[in-house]
Amino acid sequence: MARVGIIGHGVVGSGVADILWNSAEVLERRAGEKVELRRVCDLRDFPAAPYAARFTKDAALVCEAPDIDIVVECMGGKGAAYRFVKAALENGKHVVTSNKELIADCGTELEGIAAQKGVCLRYEASCGGGIPVIKPIEEDLAANRLTRVAGILNGTTNYILTRMREGGVSFDAALKEAQQKGYAEADPSADILGWDARRKICILAHAAFGTPLSDAAVRTEGIDRLTREDMLYARELGRSVKLLAEAERTPQGWRASVAPAMLPDTHPLACVSDVFNAVLVHGDKVDDVMFYGRGAGASPTASAVCGDVLDIVRCPKKRGARPEGADLPALPSFTRELRLFVRVRRARGAETEARVLAAFPGARLVQIEGEAFADEFAFVTALGQEDALLSAAESLAADLPCGAPIRYLTL
């Protein structure tokens, strides 16, 4: 019998408890043995829960008790969650978590403890909610040398960008809709500024390349400076704007970044809309593989957590080592060769065009017909070094009123 304790009975924790309690027979058939919900820790009382007798307010009864084999952490954040997860691992418990902030910041230390104690630390639900991606990268694609991971990793921002493009609404209006539907928090900073996607791409790079679990090397731009007009220009160019998280491994090292990008409408990631997420992985043998589905929500995330629990029950031994990437140097973000899209909020004329072309020789100018766009235009730069192009765009913005630069990619 595998005995499970849960810390945190919020949206995800209650979903996990519900599956363990109400789908016990299904889990037992899949696991080959009984999986029992032994204890749930939360500071609140839930007298109506069918497993109310299993509640405790003492986390030590989960992290240290000899009658718990697997600890599921569903608190979120790094403070108490870090202490409890570390204590559980040090006490020889397997741990499952969906806490991307914890893993992105403290995962290297926690994986080291798990290895020393001969137990498992699983976090499939930390990236992509219910989309299975970490385990397929580690196991099903293990025969490949993986060199690239790119994806749409945040459902909130993808919903906002979809509404701006398809609904023609402003950023503020789309954000308000997302909050009303429960897709965005009252403070949406982690989503719209790219922090959530940054943590996830850090974790995916670790799974794919073996790089350290630290998101400090991942530079990030969010979607807070994008406008409805940017979406209209993208449509004119046959493209879609996405908040793209990318990581690549090169002979010189690895790099990762998060920033808005214009992708061709024919690209698989451009077709991912609403709150859906997708991850594209490139391997030397399999070429491109894409994982797609709902990236958040109580049920999908709880499903992924319980999948990790079953994985531990069936295979409690430590998995093989990840790729040898721990010593790979982290290359600076925003240093690729690419093009930029920039919107100029001034009427197109000889003098204005000359300023643009002086800053960006070879730029392609774009004009949308219609009175609403009579006093502005846009341009797509020639190929150049990303950071140099961004610097030139910043200098041009000091001379002309410009919108936020958007990467113009082909992938």
Q: What is the DSSP letter of 138?
A: I
What percent of the chain lies above the pLDDT cut of 70?
Answer: 99
Instruction: Report pLDDT digits (tens) over 193-210.
Output: 999 999 999 999 999 999
On whether the CB atoms of residues 69 and 4 are closer than 8 A, the answer is yes
Summarised one tens digit per residue, pLDDT across range 283-324 is 999 999 999 998 777 788 899 999 999 999 998 775 656 677
**pLDDT value, residue 13:** 95
Is residue 77 predicted with pLDDT exceeding 80?
A: yes
Q: Which has more confidence, 213 or 321?
A: 213
- The predicted pLDDT at position 326 comes to 73
Dihedrals φ, ψ of 227, to 5°?
-130, 165
106 touches 81 (CB < 8 A): no
Q: Quote the mean pLDDT of the chain.
A: 94
Which pLDDT does position 24 carry in this prediction?
94
Report the greatest alpha carbon distance in the chain: 78
Where do the domains of the chain lie, and which CATH numbers do they carry? 2-122 (3.40.50.720), 134-294 (3.30.360.10), 337-408 (3.30.70)
pLDDT per residue over 126-163, tens digit each? 998 889 999 999 999 999 999 999 999 999 999 999 99
Catalytic residue ranges: 200
- State how far Cα 72 lies from the chain centre: 21
Specify whether the CB–CB gap between 155 and 276 falls below 8 A. Answer: yes
> Model confidence over 232-284: pLDDT tens digits?
999 999 999 999 999 999 999 999 999 999 999 999 999 999 999 999 999 99
Model pTM score: 0.93
The full DSSP string for 206-227 is HHHH---S-GGG-EE--STT--
Mean pLDDT of 387-396: 97
Contacts of 158 (CB under 8 A, 6+ apart): 152, 242, 243, 272, 273, 274, 275, 276, 277
pLDDT of residue 316: 78
**pLDDT (average), residues 36-43:** 96
Contacts of 60 (CB under 8 A, 6+ apart): 87
